Amino acid sequence: MARALYIHWPFCAKKCPYCDFNSHVRDNVDVESWKKALIADMHAEAQVAGDVADRETLTSIFFGGGTPSLMPPHLVETLLNEAEQLWGFDEGIEITLEANPSSVEAANFAGIAQAGVNRVSLGVQSLEDETLRWLGRLHGADEALAALEIAQAKFERVNFDVIYALPGQTIDQWEAQLSRALGLGTSHLSLYQLTIEPGTRFATDVRRGLFAPLDDDEAAELFAITQAKTAAHGLPSYEISNHARIGEESRHNLTYWRYQDYVGIGPGAHGRRGGFATTRHKKPENYLKAVSARAHGIAEQRSLSKGEQASEALLMGLRLVEGIDLGDLGGRLGIDAGALINAKKRDHLGSLGLLWTEKTRIGVTGKGLPLLDAILGELVAEELVLS
């Protein structure tokens, strides 16, 4: 059963124009109501897992959002205490909280660390004021650097996000910013190319012709530079957009990418457990009503076919530099390893230098990573997608 817990805090001070996450702006948040609802939702998942003695202890907890650094530290502490009573914690559990680097939230860092959070992920996004304004962020570059300094003093491990491959961004511009980011001393960096997501303000802006995304070839060149510079600095990629010192990888995110079970609570949270997919109500008010009526926030729960599970596992696992062991996956799901992928496409992609194989393990090469989406569409056996 699940060894990871995701807790979604849906509230933000402002909706960013590139963001398609389940985030909402509210003038007032009733913290006591949210505490009761999240605890009830947690108990509902624990009941599904069976007796305490039968549950696996948690290896990671992740507070995502939204902006969970807006949560009062006492609420974070209460939820962690409840999770520990319900599941128990592994020695060395990783507890991550996403944060925005505004001065108000940075002031909460001491309390959040004292509550038990030992890893923070800062949404820095850029080290340039002009870019931050364009991205709709509420903080400036100096504020981000100050928050990062506080975070490094308060938490055992720190990650921060940077968005690149912006419209018109040159190689020199990105190299300069990446070198600066690498010099800030964190053990983990999440470096994401700007993606124009449907339903966002940026999608509307592109449609109206207000700006054009960076050309694919130029973005691929920036990606190659990113891979080379991070590796040379001792933070090689272990997933297409994530870079870390050896041993400092995000244990929680590896749970997703290795397709292991996890519990997701809070508005819009997804979960995977025992072959079932769970989705919570997205709108905060609907989530609270659901928990009040049924003692859980689940909007949909459905059984995944073995084909669906295999397809999801491949789509997630091939993002990893370590690749995926088809023999192990087939054994877990009771599917012949040879039926998981299109063998002819595998051989063709391998001949192009886009895919590597080692016994029953396969993975995407550095050359293939910029083409990951296209490779996945070719490689995953059609029978799995349709099953």
- Kindly report, residue by residue over 314-351, the tens digit of the pLDDT: 999 999 999 999 999 999 998 888 888 888 999 999 99
Closest CA to 188 of 140, 133, 237: 237
Question: What mean pLDDT is predicted for residues 120-138?
Answer: 96
Model confidence at 386: pLDDT above 50: no
**Tokens 């069976």 sit at which residue?**
50
Q: Tell me: cis bond preceding 65? Omega within 30 of 0 counts.
A: no
Domain ranges for the chain, please list them: 4-257, 306-386
The number of residues making up the chain comes to 387
Q: What is the pTM of this model?
A: 0.94
Average pLDDT in the chain: 93
At residue 233, the 3 state secondary structure works out as coil
Provide CATH code, domain 4-257. Answer: 3.20.20.70
The HSE-up count of residue 137 (CA atoms within 13 Å, CB side) is 27
Burial class, 142, CB count within 10 angstroms (exposed 0-12 / middle 13-18 / buried 19+):
exposed
The bridge status of strand 263-265 relative to strand 4-9 is parallel
Domain 4-257 and domain 306-386 have a common topology: no
The CATH fold assigned to 306-386 is Arc Repressor Mutant, subunit A (1.10.10)
Of the chain, the percentage scoring pLDDT greater than 90 comes to 83
For the range 22-30, what are the long-range contacts, defined as Cβ-Cβ under 8 Å and sequence gap of 24 or more?
22/66, 22/267, 22/268, 22/282, 23/65, 23/66, 23/67, 24/66, 24/267, 24/283, 24/284, 26/284
Residue 89: partners with Cβ closer than 8 Å, 6 or more residues away: 57, 58, 83
Neighbouring CB atoms inside 10 A of 275's CB total 14
State pLDDT tens for residues 258-274.
Answer: 999 999 999 999 999 98
Neighbouring CB atoms inside 10 A of 301's CB total 14
In angstroms, rounded to a whole number, what is the distance separating the alpha carbons of residues 94 and 60?
5
State pLDDT tens for residues 132-188.
Answer: 999 999 999 999 999 999 999 999 999 999 999 999 999 999 999 999 999 999 999
In angstroms, rounded to a whole number, what is the distance separating the alpha carbons of residues 82 and 41?
11
Does 385 or 10 have the greater pLDDT score?
A: 10
Closest CA to 192 of 214, 208, 211: 214
In angstroms, rounded to a whole number, what is the distance separating the alpha carbons of residues 180 and 33?
43
Q: Let me know: does 117 contact 63? Beta carbons within 8 Å.
A: yes
In angstroms, rounded to a whole number, what is the distance separating the alpha carbons of residues 290 and 219?
43
